[in-house]
Amino acid sequence: MSEVNQALHRIAKGAGIVFAGTIISMFFGFLSKVIMVRFLSRAEYGVFNLALTILSIALMIVTMGFPYSLPREIAFYIERKPSRIGSLISTALIIVLMTSLTATALLVLGSSHIANVFNEGKLVYAFNVISFALPISALINCFIAISRGFGRVREQVYFQKLLYPLLWFLLIGIGALAKKIDFYYVFIVYLVAQAVTFFALVIDVFKLGLFKLGSINLKLGKELIRFSLPLMLSDIAGFVMTWTDTLMLGYYKTSEVVGLYNSATPIARLIFRLSDSVAFLYTPLVSQFYVRGKINEMKRTYQILTKWIFLLTLPLFSVMFLFPEVTINFLFGAKYVSASQALRILALGFTFYTLLGLNGWSLIVIGESDFVMVSNLVSAVFNVILNAFLIPLYGMNGAAMATAVSYFVATVFRSFWLYKKTKIHPFTWNYVKPLVISFVLLGLIQSLHLRVSNIWNAILALVIFLAVYFFLVLLSKSIDKEDVELLLAIERRLGIDLGMIKKVLKRFV
């Protein structure tokens, strides 16, 4: 098996596990929110979310981009200087521990000032408790980034995706059964759930002997910070991109419009979940190709993964784009259906963002963290300007257009730079053909103005569409040998016979 196929199989396997863990995490997170909403007042629930938002911003700052840079750096050191990995890990952990403890002290000491800014006295108690979760969360993120650098998904899935949301749900559920859930209880159990997750993760990592700590190396620390800081700023810009439309809708319109719009955004953002799962092992594995100068192998991996991401997200995009009213009605109820056009616009923008592949992660691999930062900052500023112009004219649809166009600009910008530096692009004929087929079919179905009354009719229409689509993909011979190799690997893994499918595919490869 070629190196490209080996990398693709590992990425595909890891993506499947991470994606499954993400869905489970979302499920327990949703249940926990439902319980909290029932027991807390709207004001208290708002304070909890505000405190978490501020904590999330602090977390981005204290980790300084390490969760994005460490997987790449560890993969590089494995190839070039394996003896220095222990020092790299120890240095990174000490830096994050120091920054997070400093930020914790500042949050606790400044809690009254933060409460005054938001005119919310209860934030004082919130930060006096939740701030102590900051160093814990920061170290959890670093441990997971380190394990990711070794090409592992186990630590993230077991501890961040399963253990923590399950603990959080159980503690909230126990409080609900005992009828002891109140404003104070929620913050305490949040801290407890984070602490238990951290100690379980640390015990497991050192029990397995995943890595050994080394001496602190200031030179390594400076190099890591220099490479990582642009990624931290990129993360902050991404955070701005995520929340600008909501905040500016609140400024120009009403809270009701904000509520409507926020029924569409979480649905549309599901499109990112799969590509994020694929990216988890992409960075460390492709870094090994890059450090050995195997750009062709890196390019081929990029192209095949881009096609897989598109094919796997197509059903999700199709139901959002073709039947947005039914989708929103099924998930949020009839009173949110007026956000259907915003959902369609967002789904189109987010799907285009994934069509050009994992360009941002590839730029990190080749050391272009500065450019990733610039592209994110430009897109964030562009997003603010577009929102200011479009929201007064078109309301939530204007916010959706601003977000979609901003993501379009970001991904084109990155893809251009990646091609300029490496000549890597996703457009093989076996990728272009499915793209053309999909958009022609979607356009034809949209022109029919089908009236679908419920989600089950929408699913039936989607099944028919996908059946026709995949038949045309086979007919156009858009199957790569790597696709067949992956199918054979799945067959071996599951111990099932896919003889009929293999016979069909062999005719069209």
**Interval 246-268: pLDDT, tens:** 778 877 887 677 778 877 888 88
Q: Give me the helices (H) in 81-217, please.
A: 85-109, 111-117, 123-130, 133-149, 154-155, 164-177, 183-208
The tens digit of pLDDT for each residue in 425-460 reads 999 888 899 899 998 988 888 887 777 777 788 788
Chain segment 181-228, per-residue pLDDT in tens? 777 888 899 999 999 999 999 999 888 887 788 888 888 889 899 989
Take residue 388 and report the two structure tokens written for it: 């200011």
What distances in angstroms separate CA 56 from CA 51, 63, 237, 301, 484, one per listed residue? Answer: 9, 11, 13, 33, 42
pLDDT at 255: 65
**Cα-based angle 57, 63, 65 (whole degrees, multiple of 5):** 95
**Per-residue tokens: 282:** 């992409």
Residue 363 amino acid letter? L
* Whole-number Å distance between alpha carbons of 174 and 177: 5
CB-based contacts of 293: which residues, under 8 Å, 6+ apart? Answer: none
pLDDT at 254: 73
What is the C-alpha separation between 17 and 255, in angstroms, rounded?
Answer: 38
Quote the CA–CA distance of 189 and 172 in Å, as a whole number: 7
Please state, in angstroms and rounded to a whole number, the distance separating the CA atoms of residues 130 and 125: 9
DSSP string over 230-266: HHHHHHHHHHHHHHHHHHHHHHHS-HHHHHHHHHHHH
The DSSP element (H or E) to which 400 belongs, if any, is: helix 396-422
- Looking at residue 339, the DSSP 8-state letter turns out to be G
Residue 238, CB-side half-sphere exposure with 13 Å CA sphere: 13
CA gap 51, 61 in Å, rounded: 16
Distance from the first to the final alpha carbon of the chain: 18
Side chain identity at 361, as an amino acid letter? W
Tokens standing for residue 156 = 């993230």
- Report the distance separating Cα 93 and Cα 221, nearest Å: 10
**pLDDT for 378-401, tens place per residue?**
888 999 999 999 999 999 899 999
Amino acid at the residue 473? V
Best-predicted range by mean pLDDT among 69-83, 251-265, 404-418?
404-418
Query: Residue 498: is its pLDDT beyond 70?
Result: no
Distance, CA of 147 to CA of 141 (rounded, Å): 10
